[in-house]
Structures are given as structure tokens and as C-alpha cells.
Amino acid sequence: MTAISRRQLLAGSSALAVTLNGILHSAPGFAATPFRLPELPPMPDLAPARPEESVDMADPSEWAETKLSFPIADGPFGSSWPEIEKAYPDKGTEWLREAKFGIWVHFGPQAAGNSGDWYAKYMYDPTGRWGNKAYDNHVRNFGHPSEVGYKDILKDWNPTNLHPDTLVDLYKKAGAKFLLVQGVHHDNYDNWDSKYQKWNSVNIGPKRDLLGEWVTAARQAGLKYGVTFHHEYTWWWWQTAFGADTTGPKAGVPYDGHLTEADGKGTWWEGLDPRMLYTVNLREYRGLDTRWAPARGIFQNHEKYAEWYATWWAYRIMDVIENYDPDFIYTDGDSQNPYTGEKSGTGAKNDAASRVIAHYYNRTKARRNTVDTFSVIKFKKPTKGLVTTEEGGFPEGIKREQPWIGEVPIGDWFYGPGFIYEASSVIRYVLETASRDGASAVCIPMRPDGSLDPECLSLLSEVGEWMALNGEGIYGSSAWRVLGEGEMIDGKLKVARKGALGVRQHSVSFDQRDFRFTQGRDGAVYAFCLVVPEAGTRLTIRSLADDGTDKVKSVHLLGRDRQPKWKHTSDGLTIEVPRNHGHSITMSFRIVTT
């Protein structure tokens, strides 16, 4: 699908709808009675903006949570967290452990800036959190943001070399078993045929249902997939667009966040409301960090707008649930829950998240006659039915109390020039997460036109070769009793560096003492040496010392039928590295004990 959307196709032909559903939705129950998506009420009237930084935010600890009333599907899941936990099955997240490794499709029009993550926000900030790269790039490549705003980037963005079917084939060959596909980032632009957001990829820019294309490719390849939603941040994230340069020839000339729908008459965006892209001016609140994020507080002068926005947030997720049937949904944030008044949930306090998730599981149950989907809320305390993430890193120790995904980008979350592509960094990140009982998802940077750098193609090929040889110690694995051993630095195990994969991660030096462990489906221990020593080197795994309990029965180097020479003593398990072993980056052993 390219020129027209899935929604248009389904509306046009019942026979085509059956065929397309067969491609997109492998679950036989997808033809269950559709849920009638509600209409979004109009945006409430807003009071005139007050002077900047003239209003204190209310204290969220003293603010009651609003109980929203938007409709959700009937079913066994009630809309409170206790009701969700009670109804959620014990094995609803089981497939994630089996899949273990995925690719993060973090792609949208912000890639057009060639400036890394949060380009849309920082193109309006001459000083910027990390300097003025995004602003300078925007002025040089497109024009001043008072004249060419982000809305104009959307109009012209067209990733003509984006071919999800080809990319999914590459990702599958690299060993990926699932995808995270970006539905909407903080920029408020929906990458699908959105019922509730006219600023979307079918109406503006590529005129393609990008999400639909990824879903079709994933289903045809037999991969699980989830859709990610980052618009919890959005209603305060855009505050830079309401500013202006403070120096230079454009000082005081407003950026385009201030525009109204009436201003669009006679322009390319006539009939589109800029408030539905940039949201509304909240700069009256004291403590609202326009460059980064507010720490906490309730926007008490915008209570009705907050309820409306949270409803809009929910409806867009429900639209995707109904029309794309994802295997999981993902909400971005760094609070315990969307809309808490804390961190990314600043500004409001309501139960939108639990209502949406209850709706999701009820729809899954109706379609699939089981609940094998899950929801990701980053950083939420362990809650049955929820998966959490470790962004850009991994926990210090083994984390078994809640399923989790380690997520990391190569270079940055959106494309920029000069990224370092090293398969060893990706593989060691996979090992750091698997040894701690987590799954991992790696963001592959796509250029503005949707293509990959040649070095990135080579990286995917190397990772695929490694996973083909070593995957039995990753897929379906659990953490062993210890995560690893090796060199100690200040009393702690030396590990791969956290953060986006680049020079810092590749520069970490490991040696033959450094191991990570997993436990396979059948109970065997998998020991991954983080380097490949020369033939004849004797490796000693001290965590497998003979203490009179577990005895080593066999040792196999993955990819070889014959056992290497080994000896089990009170000092550890010693293994001699054989010749012509065929391993690169790491060396992996399957160890059976009695």
C-alpha cells in the first residue's frame, strides 16, 4: 500500500477487506464485531493566555485524579489497575521471552532535519539543550522557523526510498522476531490513516499509510509487532514553537506556533488547525522548562483542555487498536503512568491509560478469544499485564519482577550524519539485556528518504550471522543465577556503556575473563565470552566452579559437534579454545550440568 490508505481500501470493497485483513491480522478472531469508535468532541474554549511565567502550577499530590468517561469495549477487563491485573492471564507476555530480540522502527518526519532526536522541538530554539544544531540546520536547509515552520517540513517530507517489506526482510535475516513501529512521536504527526488527527501521513507529506505498510510487512514475515505512542509529552513539548528569536535580524518575530486556523486561508494548509499540531500556549506557567521537560505540576487553568487532550490521546491509540490489531502497544514517558502530574505526565492527573489498556485487552479477547497482547508503560511499577523498558541501557542486576525490553538507538533516535555502525556494540547490548532477563530492541537509523547507510546494511548482516550461530542461547532464554563475571572496576562488574550506540560503546575493551550467562529453555547454561581468544587459550568460568553440587556433564562450542577440551575443578570450568571455531565478536558455549 502506498498511495491510498488501509481505511480507504476497507471502505471501498468488502472482498478486498477480507483479503487485507488476512494479510494484516493473522488471528482468526479479527473479524469480531467492530468497536464503534466515538467522535472526538470539539476542543474546549481557552481563556486568553496570561503573561509568561506568571502562574504557579498546582501540586499534583494535592490534586484529585479525574475519572474520564470516554467509551471503551465491554469485556472481562475493568478500567482500574486492580481489575486489569485480576483479569490478565499468567502467560500473556510469554511470547516476548521467546522472541527476545527486536528492531525499533523509530521513523517519521523528524528524520528530515538530519539533526537527531527532538528536531521538531529544537528547530525553534537557537540555543538548544545540546547547542543550536537543529536550529542551525533548519535555517540553512529550509529557512527561518518564523517563515518555514515544522508544518512545512511535514508538507514536503516524502521518504521515497522507504520500503517496509524490504527492510522487514533485512531485519528478519538479522534475527529480529518483533518490531516496534512508531505510530506518533512527540511532534503530534500520525503515521497512519488517522481518524482523529488530520496532520497525518495520508493527508500530508508522503500520502501513504506508513503504519499500514509496516504492519503488512511484519505479518507477511511472521513477526510480532507493536505500535508506539509518544504524544503524552506533546501538549507541553511544543512550547518552543510559541517563542521567537531573542537576538539577530528576526528578534521578536513569532514562530508559527501562534498561528490559528483562520491564518491558513489561501495557504496550502487551509482547513487545518495549527492547534491540532502544536497544541496550545502554556508558557504562562512558572517552572515550565520549554527546552526540556517540566518536573511536576498541574496546569490548573487548563483543566478542561487537559481532559479533552487525554481523551484525544486515548482515541488515537484506540483507532490503531481497532484498525491495525497490534501485538502490543507502547506509551512513552518517564512517569509511573501517563497523566500523573509528575515528569512526562506533568499538567494533568487522570485515568486515561488504564481505560485504554482495559479497552485493548477486551478487544484482544473478542478478536482472538485469548489475551496474548501486552502494554508497555515505561517506568511503571510492576503491574500484571504491563511491560516496562530500560531506555538506552539495562539494570545493574538481574530484573525478574517484571517483563522488560532494553531499547537503544544506533547513533540517535532520529537520523543524523556520522553515526558509528559496529555490530559488536549491538551484540554486547543484546547480551547485557538477555543476561539480566530482558528482551532488547535496537533502533536502526533510517535516512530522511527511508533508506539505510551502507554501513548499517553491513551491521545488520553481521548481527544476523551472529544470531544464526548463537541464537539458541538468546531466544526463549532466562537469566541464570548470575548475569556474568569478569573484570571488576570499583567493586562492580565491567559492563558495556549505556547510551546510544556509538564510539563510547565500541571503545569499551573486554578480555577473556569477561562472560555473560543465560539459561536456555531446557535448563542448559549458555556462557558468552565477550571476546574471541586465540586458539589454545584456556578460558576459566569461575561461576561454574565445582562446589560439590552441580557437576558439569558436557560442554559444546556453538556451531561445532565435538566438545572442546574442558576440565571442571574447584577453581572453575576451564575450556580450551579450539581451532577453526567459526566464531566472531564473542565465543559461546552450551554447558549442561547435573
Residue that the C-alpha cell 560439590 belongs to = 548
Average pLDDT over residues 206-215: 98
Average the pLDDT over 356-369 and give the result.
98
Helix (H) or strand (E) holding 241: none
Q: What is the pLDDT of residue 295?
A: 84
Question: Given a cut of 90, is residue 8 above it in pLDDT?
Answer: no
Q: For the CA atoms of the chain, what is the radius of gyration?
A: 25
Pick from 378-392, 491-505, 516-530 the range whose average pLDDT is largest. 516-530
User: How many angstroms separate the CA atoms of 335 and 385, rounded?
Assistant: 18
Q: CA 68 to CA 82: how far, in whole Å?
A: 17
Q: Is residue 451 part of a domain?
A: no
Cα gap 337→245, rounded to integer Å: 35
* Distance in angstroms (rounded) separating the CA atoms of residues 325 and 227: 9
Which pLDDT band holds residue 549 (cuts at 50, 70, 90)?
Answer: confident
SS3 574: strand
Q: By residue range, what is the domain housing residue 535?
A: 500-593
Buried b (16+ CB within 10 A) or exposed e, 438-448: bbbbbbbbbbb
pLDDT of residue 286: 93
Instruction: State residue 21's pLDDT score.
Output: 41
Range from 245-249, 311-315, 333-337 that averages highest in pLDDT: 311-315
Q: 10-53, pLDDT tens digit by residue?
A: 444 333 333 344 344 444 445 579 999 999 999 999 999 999 99
Is the same domain home to 532 and 383?
no
79-116 per-position pLDDT tens digit: 999 999 999 999 999 999 999 999 999 999 999 999 99
Quote the mean pLDDT of the chain.
Answer: 93
Question: What pLDDT does residue 569 have?
Answer: 96
Q: What percentage of the chain carries pLDDT values higher than 90?
A: 89
Residue 341 confidence (pLDDT) above 90: yes
**What is the pLDDT confidence band of residue 130, given thresholds at 50, 70 and 90?**
low
Q: What is the reported pTM?
A: 0.94
Given phi > 0 = left and psi -120 to 50 = alpha, else beta, which region is 580?
Answer: left
Q: State the pLDDT confidence band at 197, using cuts at 50, 70 and 90.
A: very high
**Domain-located, residue 246:** yes
CA distances from 113 to 108, 118, 377, 495, 545 (A): 11, 10, 28, 33, 54
Residue 190 phi, psi dihedral angles, 5° rounding: -85, 130
The full 3-state SS of 112-124, as one line of letters, equals HHCCCCCHHHHCC
At 131 the pLDDT is: 62
473-482: b or e for each residue (b if 16 or more CB lie within 10 Å)?
bbbbbebbeb
Mean per-residue pLDDT for 398-415?
97
Rounded Cα distance, 426 and 506, in Å: 9
Q: Cell triple for residue 391?
A: 531506555
Q: Which residues lie closer than 8 Å to 213 by C-beta, 6 or more apart?
A: 1, 2, 164, 165
- At 291 the pLDDT is 80
In a domain, 403, yes or no: no
99 and 241 part of one domain = yes
Q: CB-side exposure of 436: number of CA atoms within 13 Å?
A: 24
487 domain residue, yes or no: no
Residue 440 pLDDT grade (very low, low, confident, very high; cuts 50, 70, 90)? very high
The predicted structure's pLDDT at residue 548? 85
**Stretch 480-487: mean pLDDT, rounded?**
97
C-alpha cell at position 501: 550506540
Query: In this predicted structure, what is the pLDDT of residue 13?
Result: 36
Taking the CA of residue 185 as centre, how many other CA atoms within 13 Å lie in the half-sphere pointing to its CB?
19
CA distance 198 to 67: 27
pLDDT at 129 over 80: no
Q: Judge if 208 and 340 occupy the same domain.
A: yes
User: pLDDT, tens digit, for every residue of 279-300?
Assistant: 999 999 998 888 887 889 999 9
- CB distance 153 to 113 below 8 Å: yes
Per-residue pLDDT at 531 exceeds 70:
yes
Query: Which of 376, 391, 406 represents a domain boundary (last residue)?
Result: 391
Rounded to an integer, what distance in angstroms lies between the CA atom of residue 459 and that of residue 482?
29
SS (H, E, C) 275-310: HHHHCCCCCCEECCCCCCCCCECECHHHHHHHHHHH
pLDDT digits (tens, 9 = 90+) for 175-188: 999 999 999 999 99
Helix extents (H) in 377-473:
423-434, 454-470
Same domain, 149 and 10: yes
Residue found under cell 488547525:
273
Whether 437 shows a pLDDT value over 60: the answer reads yes
pLDDT score, position 323: 98
Instruction: Answer yes or no: is 495 within a domain.
Output: no
Decide which of 370, 391, 412 is a domain's last residue.
391
**Considering its fold, how many domains does the chain have in total?**
2
pLDDT of residue 574 exceeding 70, the answer is: yes
Mean pLDDT score, 195-217: 98
Collect all residues with Cβ–Cβ distance below 8 Å to 119 and sequence separation of at least 6: 110, 112, 113, 134, 137, 138, 414
Q: Is residue 359 part of a domain?
A: yes
Residue 197, CA distances (Å) to 9, 99, 275, 316 in order: 19, 33, 11, 8
Asked if pLDDT for residue 9 goes beyond 70, the answer is: no
Same domain assignment for residues 374 and 512? no
Q: What is the mean pLDDT of residues 537-558?
A: 95
CA distance 583 to 529: 11
One domain for residues 90 and 229: yes
Give me the CATH number covering residue 329: 3.20.20.80
Last residue of a domain, one of 360, 391, 422: 391
In angstroms, the CA 119 to CA 128 distance is: 10
Residue 5 confidence (pLDDT): 52
Length of the chain: 594
Q: Give a yes or no: residue 178 inside a domain.
A: yes
Task: For residue 507, give the nearest of 521, 497, 499 by alpha carbon.
Answer: 497
Q: Quick one: residue 492, left, alpha or beta (phi over 0 = left, psi -120 to 50 = alpha)?
A: beta
Do the domain assignments include residue 445? no
